[in-house]
Chain A
């Protein structure tokens, strides 16, 4: 099984990659064969993530964004078919119900990369609000069960029914100086 993450631009640093690995190793219970970090900055935006569908064409794959908190043993997130999060149980659908903070697939889904790559400039101009809208309107997908709520609803207490949260807009919580329940699970600065 392969764990994948992406780091590009200046928003995220080596600390964020080390922090994700730390949370996976310490709390998730996941056993994996390799921890892969994609750093090639082809597009200077979130569409960089699509490189993983080209690069990893076999085996079990599980992708995490760097702005998640993993604080307990994760349920089985490995999926045969291309699967990502549906957030609409905790937020309005907006331009997309989807969230690719967690993605899983088994085998070869390079068709996603190829479909995007063929008209990449057009898609980037069209989907200015992110790649999650592109998934929603361009490919078939499945969605996880309710496994990943937003930290915005749990700022002051840990959601015990879950094992991970997405930070969404609240990346600042990973910075030095914050001391909420979540801080205990992050790598020390």
Chain B
């Protein structure tokens, strides 16, 4: 079975982000999957698991739990996808959901905008349990890892660095890192001028006429990711 796994907690986003992602995934795919959400409130999902505010695990770090084969009732052979909820599916994503993955391999978004890290926490796909070291190593000392990349200056916001941690562990354990075609993903913001620049970059990179033009999206695009610290889904772009 394919499980698409997310995390929601009260704060920056609202429960309708989960519903929007869930609905757009169902609308734009023909593949059977179970939609799972760790949440502190009712959300639209096939399986809702508790987000514990009193846990030593904080914020989006909860999503690392899905790397454990003992979490979310995974079965051997399951394919696991972890997605951030600040995304909207805009075209058929069967090719993304079916993207081939092997044991000891992590598939993540290829992206065309600057990404020195080379990994995008908005999308992880792997075989259930094959990367269990990501969770197991983290769970030995969550307090340390959750602040490690902030304390060493790699990131500049407390509790950021989850992507850095995953990348570190993938390298440390010599797992394979694979990226999906970058033209599948759009980066979009709530800033008009920045969106113009992003459109231009996409056009130059993929020799096409536009990325997102008003309500039109390029046919190559599958996902719009409202990425970046403090970014919300553009309210004018609720598909």
Contact = CB atoms under 8 A, between A and B. Distances in A.
- Are A and B genuine complex partners? yes
Contact of B73 (A152, A170, A175, A177): A177
B65 to A, nearest CB: 7
Given A10-B54, A11-B54, A177-B50, A172 B139 contact: yes
A176 B49 contact: yes
B70 interface: yes
A176 B71 CA distance: 9
Given A155-B136, A176-B50, A177-B49, A171 B55 contact: yes
Interface string B39-75: 0000000000110101111000000010010111110
Interface string B127-169: 0000000001001111000000000000000000000000000
B70 A175 contact: no
Given A175-B52, A176-B50, A177-B49, A170 B139 contact: yes
Contacts of A180: 70
Given A177-B71, A180-B70, A169 B54 contact: no
Given A11-B54, A169-B56, A172-B52, A178 B139 contact: no
Interface string A146-157: 000000100100
Interface centre among A11, A152, A178, A180 (most CB of B within 10 A): A178
A171 B49 contact: no
Nearest to B51: A175
A155 B52 CA distance: 21
Contacts of B56: 169, 171
Interface of A: 9-11, 152, 155, 169-172, 175-180, 183
Interface of B: 38, 49-50, 52, 54-57, 65, 68, 70-74, 136, 139-142
The 5 closest A-B pairs by CB, nearest first: A177-B49, A180-B70, A11-B54, A10-B54, A179-B70
